[in-house]
């Protein structure tokens, strides 16, 4: 099987506190992998390590390696901005910038040097179409993004992330602040996007993980308990802990 990110013996620490214990996992390409497990088990820490967003936290430390397409992302010579172009991230709370819808989506491409207005127009339209938002906003691209609904803002964040054509899209509980209809829209969108992108989504919503994911990683207290195809894990979990979690006995 073809994978794009390989995590080798990854441990993560906040000061003395260990948050991830010797994790080994290979994330397959162009499918949806859900990272599941009870609150505090290390889901966010793992996904944040994958694009080095925890680097800024004082006392945060990792050991082990993470390879993106064969290159260790913690190598000192890695170009972080170029790397994050390839591995985008969407957070739980929509993080739109206080600027127009258009400027939100054009933000990344501009940073990466695209100035031509016609080119930017095309990129913005394509990203908004791919994020299933174009029809709702095409006549008001100059509107301030913060005026959109929560669900629209989250799709705008997805549009902003994909505007730079990443290979991997990381999402940390992207629907937990949204209503059921907005949640469904995002779930549908992610399934479509997985044809082009590798999607890694943290969710504490087990039903959601079962609905949309192809693979699942179950974390418990910093350990990776089980990783594999979602249908296999749901029907024949190998670990009693996984089974207990699936049955709602651990939350």
Ligand X SMILES: Nc1ncnc2c1ncn2[C@@H]1O[C@H](COP(=O)(O)OP(=O)(O)O)[C@@H](O)[C@H]1O
Q: Which stretch binds Mg ion (CB under 5 A): 40-48, 60-68, 161-169, 179-187?
A: 40-48
Closest residue to Mg ion, judged by C-beta, is 44
- Give the C-alpha separation, 97 to 146, whole Å: 8
Name the binder of 14 from ligand X, Mg ion, none, CB < 5-8 A by kind.
ligand X
Question: Which spans of this chain sit near ligand X (rule: CB under 6 A)?
Answer: 14, 17, 19, 37, 39-45, 57
- Give the C-alpha separation, 26 to 4, whole Å: 7
In angstroms, what is the minimal distance from the CB of 249 to ligand X? 18
44 touches Mg ion by CB under 5 A: yes
Q: Which stretch binds Mg ion (CB under 5 A): 39-47, 82-90, 208-216, 218-226?
A: 39-47
Which contacts (CB < 8 Å, 24+ apart) does range 146-151 have?
146/96, 146/98, 148/96, 148/101, 149/182, 150/94, 150/177, 150/178, 150/179, 150/182, 151/178, 151/179, 151/181, 151/182, 151/183, 151/185, 151/186
In angstroms, what is the minimal distance from the CB of 189 to ligand X? 22
User: Whose CA is closest to 91, among 251, 201, 216?
Assistant: 201
Q: Which stretch binds Mg ion (CB under 5 A): 42-50, 134-142, 211-219, 241-249?
A: 42-50
Q: How many distinct helices (H) and strands (E) make up the chain?
A: 10, 10
In angstroms, what is the minimal distance from the CB of 204 to ligand X? 7
Name the binder of 122 from Mg ion, ligand X, none, CB < 5-8 A by kind.
none
In angstroms, what is the minimal distance from the CB of 46 to ligand X? 7
Intra-chain end-to-end CA distance of the chain, in Å? 32
């Amino acid at each position: 099987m073809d994978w794009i990110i390989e995590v080798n013996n990854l441990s993560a620490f906040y000061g003395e506190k260990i948050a991830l214990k010797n994790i080994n996992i290979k994330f397959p390409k162009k499918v949806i992998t859900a990272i599941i497990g009870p609150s505090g088990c290390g889901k966010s820490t793992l996904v944040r390590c994958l694009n080095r967003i925890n680097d800024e936290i004082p006392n945060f430390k990792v050991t082990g390696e993470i390879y993106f397409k064969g290159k260790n992302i913690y190598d000192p010579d890695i170009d972080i901005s170029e790397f994050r172009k390839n591995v985008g991230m969407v957070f739980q709370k929509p993080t739109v910038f206080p600027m127009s819808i258009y400027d939100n989506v054009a933000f990344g491409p501009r940073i990466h040097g695209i100035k031509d207005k016609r080119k930017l127009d095309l990129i913005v339209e394509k990203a908004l179409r791919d994020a299933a938002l174009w029809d709702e906003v095409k006549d008001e691209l100059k509107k301030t993004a913060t005026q959109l609904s929560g669900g629209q803002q989250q799709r705008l964040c997805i549009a902003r992330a994909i505007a730079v054509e990443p290979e991997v899209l990381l999402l940390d509980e992207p629907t937990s602040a949204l209503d059921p209809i907005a949640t469904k829209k995002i779930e549908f969108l992610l399934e479509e996007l997985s044809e082009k992108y590798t999607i890694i989504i943290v969710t504490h919503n087990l039903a959601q993980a079962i609905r949309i994911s192809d693979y699942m990683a179950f974390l418990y207290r910093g350990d990776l308990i089980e990783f594999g195809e979602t249908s296999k894990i749901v029907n024949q979990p190998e670990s009693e802990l996984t089974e207990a979690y699936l049955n709602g006995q651990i939350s």
